[in-house]
Amino acid sequence: MAKVYECRNASCSLGTVGNPGGRFTGGMTAEAKTLLTGQPAEHMKKDEDYGEGICPNCGQKGKVV
């Protein structure tokens, strides 16, 4: 069974108005993080900057729920 994460970034559009904390499974790819932030993939660390548990919408680390 896949882990479910919750994004706690108040400005992330994954949640709803007045209720941050949208839920997601999986995570963000290095390519998506590069498109979002402009940071080159070769300067990123897996599971810190991208990968499992990183919100695919805002790029912040989520919390397991």
* DSSP reduced 3-state for 54: strand
Question: What's the whole-model pTM score?
Answer: 0.85
Q: For residue 1, what pLDDT is reported?
A: 81
d(CA 47, CA 42): 14
Q: Where are the domains of the chain?
A: 4-64
pLDDT of 5-58, one tens digit each?
999 888 888 877 777 778 999 999 999 999 999 999 899 999 899 999 999 999
Other beta carbons within 10 Å of 53: 20
